[in-house]
Amino acid sequence: MTPPRPLVIGHRGAPGYRPEHSRAAYELAVRMGVDAVEPDLVVSRDGVLVVRHENEISGTTDVADRPEFADRRTTKTVDGERLTGWFTEDFTWAELSTLRCRERLPRIRPHSAAFDDRQPVLRLADVIDLVAAAAGERPVGLVLEVKHPTYFAALGHDMAALIEAELARARWHGSLVIESFEQTVLAQLRGRGIRASFVYLIDAAGAPADLVAREGDAAATYRDTVSPAGLDALAGEVDGISVHRRLILDPRRAGREPGESVVDDAHARGLQVYTWTCRPENVFLRREYRGKGGASAFGDYEGEWGVIRDAGVDGVFVDHADLGVAFFRG
């Protein structure tokens, strides 16, 4: 039986070729034919939804080279991780808009790094507008990842309310998926009547920050969540799950025996299954799919991606939009 063709989602645009979350990355992903693009959402001091991989931005912008912001460098604990750098919540949007995008992995992706410092940081509003304009007659969907909602709530930012307001402003009527590693914010968004598919992100290890904040060491882990009982509890609460690809490539990480599949178990409960992130470089591939040429060279990514495709997933996140479209639609 031929598995269905999954949705191909441009993960932060097309970061295999341009700095992630830059205008050029999104426009390139659309031109390369993705079904949707995925902006990550964090918050500025004045409550603007900013598109960045994380709220700590020293690795993805030129902020560390800006003397006027040198005194903003600080150390914080975000979802249990102690980080030192510059954080979006310490800047107004007017200040963030002066920053320029940089490649997060310059040693792995030097071609993308050649486009550093050319384009400004974007808001969700900017991504919505550019996707609508770039798509033309071909519909391109949005997959919004809500980052650190419990952390931002403690700072006084209601991310569900901010997202609702921005979607209303934009009058977005296209395909919409909203995802988060925290189920609490998904329930809040669904409760606001937003028309979207709600997808729970599942990492290969650890526990959700909202549950840890509420329950401490008793919090259910992500592995608990993908157990049969955990999937039973999710059915009807969310529309799908988005699992780290390791949970598909190595079923034991999901508590399955060889030949068993978390994808099949989720589908049996009416849940869609997405996976992240399909990348071709050796450094990201499982050992058996790596080739010669070092960390940045492309390995046998088609071999690894074939396992994911054959598992029957409903959507895949890709960094190299053209490769993803060619492989998963081929």
In the chain (330 residues long), the average pLDDT of successive 10-residue segments reads 84 98 96 97 98 98 98 98 98 98 98 98 96 81 98 98 96 94 98 97 97 96 96 97 97 92 97 98 98 97 97 98 95
- Domain boundary assignment for the chain: 7-328
User: Residue 120's pLDDT is what?
Assistant: 98
User: Residue 2's pLDDT is what?
Assistant: 65
Strand blocks (E) in 156-306? 176-180, 197-202, 240-244, 272-278
Fold classified for 7-328: TIM Barrel (3.20.20)
CA angle, residues 306, 285, 106, in degrees to nearest 5: 130
User: Residue 167's pLDDT is what?
Assistant: 96
User: Residue 1's pLDDT is what?
Assistant: 59
Written as one letter, the residue type at 143 is V
Cβ pair 2, 10 in contact under 8 A: no
For the stretch 166-169, contacts whose Cβ atoms lie closer than 8 Å and that sit 24 or more positions apart, written own/partner, are: 166/49, 166/124, 166/125, 166/128, 167/194, 169/125
CA pair distance 101, 19, nearest whole angstrom: 6
User: Residue 138's pLDDT is what?
Assistant: 84
User: Residue 136's pLDDT is what?
Assistant: 72
